[in-house]
């Protein structure tokens, strides 16, 4: 008597590949197929064409070509061997990283263009400056130090919250506050569901109906100081940024620009060393847009005045303390390259 054939049900059927494993295999294959190099948006940013976000928009608009073919996605790595063009023109070679200190006047918008037709800082910069990007922003009614760079990598590095460089401001508010009024700001506020990190606040002096403060923060949220002061019952009627990390406003006047030496940029940002060369002539432009009468590379003479009549020298120190007390008080972040050196900028003490 012969045995009946085994039931098909007894045979193990083919197992389908788990979704996660399939996704991992697909990602690994895509990674293997992707060439070495950097993302196209990063390359465009480093070349000074646009910021990474702007470069991604340009790619989506079909304005960027690689090896003669238009690309529609920034998810592409390119190398030095690839031919890149923007709007039909070859990509310019990346310049050495450069940085400038700029005194932004009141009344200028910190953007490339404004939908309301208002003047931007780029309308007032010297015409012979290369294309630059701003590190962070200052709102229309704020003034003071604004960092400019031709390198998107530097911009991104300085803006990252992880960098944590101290930004210091001279702030004038209306009223007669007491030091204890600022306790909520020192602890950290939550305004309309948005958390503000603790600030350093020192009450410097009373001047008539107004009080002058020095405020330090390590974030750059929109109108952060104004909103925080309003939350505790005070209105800001003047706001002046005096430092960003180790970089100082010093004796710059509204509308003036000063380029930093390449060695200073390398030391402060930890960039790879290159042959040190002095910067090109440092153009100066007044608020009205006319070049200044003296080059910005020249050391400042007498200390310039500070808002409210106090010397500019004292405004450069630690909030509520003497100037130049320690690297951290001068705005440098502990552990950052060069943070223990003299603050960078046209310092009246030189």
Residue 80's CB: how many other CB atoms inside 10 A?
A: 8
Residue whose pair of structure tokens reads 């909030």 in the numeric block? 319
Residue 324: Cβ-neighbour burial (10 angstroms; 0-12, 13-18, 19+): middle
218 neighbors 164 (Cβ within 8 angstroms): yes
Instruction: Count CB-CB contacts under 10 A for residue 277.
Output: 10
CA distance 326 to 328: 5
Active site members: 139
How far apart are alpha carbons 270 and 210 in whole angstroms? 41
Distance CA 120, CA 109 (A): 4
Nearest partner of 244 among 316, 168, 322, judged by Cα: 168
Cα–Cα separations (whole angstroms), residue 219 to 80, 152, 245, 306: 36, 19, 12, 24
**How big is the CA angle at 96 (ends 92 and 101), to the nearest 5 degrees?**
115
């Amino acid at each position: 008597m012969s045995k009946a054939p085994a039931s098909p049900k007894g045979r193990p059927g083919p197992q389908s590949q788990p979704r996660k494993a399939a996704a991992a295999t697909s990602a690994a294959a895509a990674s293997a197929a992707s060439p070495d190099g950097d993302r196209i948006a990063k390359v465009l940013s480093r070349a000074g064409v646009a910021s990474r976000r702007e470069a991604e928009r340009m790619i989506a608009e079909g304005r960027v070509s690689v090896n003669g073919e238009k690309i529609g996605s920034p998810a592409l790595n390119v190398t030095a061997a690839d031919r890149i063009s923007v709007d039909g023109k070859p990509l310019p070679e990346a310049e050495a990283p450069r940085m400038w200190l700029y005194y932004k006047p009141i009344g200028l918008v910190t953007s490339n263009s404004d939908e309301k037709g208002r003047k931007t800082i780029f309308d007032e910069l010297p015409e012979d400056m290369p294309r630059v990007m701003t590190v962070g922003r200052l709102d229309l009614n704020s003034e003071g130090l604004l960092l400019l760079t031709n390198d998107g990598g530097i911009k991104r590095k300085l803006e990252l919250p992880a960098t944590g460089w101290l930004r210091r401001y001279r702030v004038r508010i209306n009223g007669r506050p007491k030091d204890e009024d600022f306790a909520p700001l020192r602890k950290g506020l939550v305004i309309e569901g948005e958390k503000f990190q603790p600030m350093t606040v020192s009450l410097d002096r009373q001047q008539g109906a107004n009080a002058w403060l020095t405020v330090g923060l390590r974030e750059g949220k929109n109108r952060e100081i104004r909103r925080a002061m309003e939350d505790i019952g005070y209105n800001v009627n003047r706001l002046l940024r005096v430092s960003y990390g180790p970089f100082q406003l010093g004796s710059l006047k509204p509308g003036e620009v000063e380029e930093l030496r390449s060695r200073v940029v390398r030391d402060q940002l930890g960039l790879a060393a290159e042959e040190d060369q002095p910067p090109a002539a440092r153009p100066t432009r007044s608020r009205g847009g006319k070049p200044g009468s003296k080059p910005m590379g020249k050391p400042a003479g007498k200390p310039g005045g500070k808002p409210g009549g106090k010397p500019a020298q004292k405004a450069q120190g630690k909030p509520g303390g003497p100037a130049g007390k320690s690297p951290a008080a001068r705005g440098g972040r502990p552990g950052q390259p060069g943070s223990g050196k003299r603050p960078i900028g046209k310092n009246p003490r030189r």
